Amino acid sequence: MDDETFLLLLLSDSNLPTGSFVASSGFESYIKHGFGGDQNNRTIMFMRDSINAYARSALAFVSDTHRIVQDVHRDVEQGSEQKSDFDKYLQKIKEVDDLYDAMTLNDVTKRASKSQGVALLTLYSKGLTPPLAFTGVKNRKEIEIEVNSYMASLVAQYKSLVRAESAPGHLPICWGILTGALGLTLERSQYLHIFLHARSLLSASVRLNEIGPYNAQQTLLHISRSVIEAAVVRCKDLRTGIPSSTGTESDQPDGVDDKSRGPANTWPLGEILAARHDLQHSRIFNS
């Protein structure tokens, strides 16, 4: 089994301590407000709308953050990493994070996104960093160890910014940091992020007694897959419009206008329902 396949298995483990089990992405509010028709269809209807909206709003931030972290990988491997460059990378990640914070329109969604984001940074620093130290010998193995050391430092410093409330620490940005630090390819990072969003929605539906656990797995295999694939294909090239960490004016794909091919909120109803979550008299989920 290659390293990336094993990483995919590890990151898709439902036992990872990321806090996603306490979030319904507005589904609880959706049900309480009577949307979606009959019980058999509303889980699928909400899942389709939520996946499409989340992919359009979040994937650009996952992608740009992942690219920044991959730039750190490249510089360390080439021996060109300097402290000033390291601070520049942290600042670029913070710019992406601040933009996502500005585009997230309600406090309930912000709260859930931040709590899951910092959980991912904690997961990396406490559970996924290799227990190795750099010895200074520049063979391939030692370069790999040095990269891991820089990644651990990058995550730790950004987590400190989040804890100090100097950076928001939103979920898509922290996912980009985590998967970039682990060396997962951008395409796999994008697909897995949207897959985990779909899985958490179905998990919420089970706990709300909307569908059963067998039906959830059936939906994930036969219905969610095509929705996830279509959403990622449609949104995988979206960019935030923030210049790259390399200092160039833009690293948008040729012919792509970030005003039309940037992140956007395409499901206002979802935002409204999520914002009204805390107004319910009784709640199972935090969002």
71/100 Cα distance (integer angstroms): 21
pLDDT at 123 over 70: yes
In this prediction, residues 131-142 reach a mean pLDDT of 49
pLDDT of residue 135: 42
Q: What is the pLDDT of residues 143-175, one digit of tens each?
A: 567 777 888 899 999 999 999 999 999 999 999
pLDDT of residue 222: 95
Average pLDDT for the chain: 85
Token pair for residue 261?
A: 């091919």
pLDDT at 258 over 60: no
pLDDT of residue 124: 92
Residues 6+ apart with CB under 8 A from 260: none
Higher pLDDT, 29 or 248: 29
pLDDT of residue 255: 47
pLDDT of residue 249: 40
| Burial class of residue 88 in the structure, from the number of CB atoms within 10 Å of its CB (0-12 exposed, 13-18 middle, 19+ buried) | middle
Question: How much of the chain exceeds pLDDT 70, in percent?
Answer: 86
pLDDT band for position 130 (50/70/90)? low
CB-based contact 115:19 (threshold 8 Å): yes
Tell me the pTM: 0.88
Q: What is the pLDDT of residues 2-14, one digit of tens each?
A: 888 998 998 988 8
CA 199 to chain centroid, in Å, comes to 14
Composition of the chain by helix, strand, coil, percent to 5: 65, 0, 35
pLDDT at 177 over 80: yes
pLDDT of residue 248: 45
Question: How much of the chain exceeds pLDDT 90, in percent?
Answer: 54
CB burial string 241-256: b at 16+ within 10 A, e below? bbebbeeeeeebeeee
- Helices 171-182 and 39-78, packing angle to 10 deg: 50
Q: Which of 22-26, 92-96, 155-159, 230-234 has the lowest mean pLDDT?
A: 22-26
pLDDT of residue 81: 60
pLDDT at 18 over 90: no
pLDDT of residue 75: 83
Q: What is the pLDDT of residues 29-82, one digit of tens each?
A: 999 888 877 777 899 999 999 999 999 999 999 999 999 999 988 888 777 666
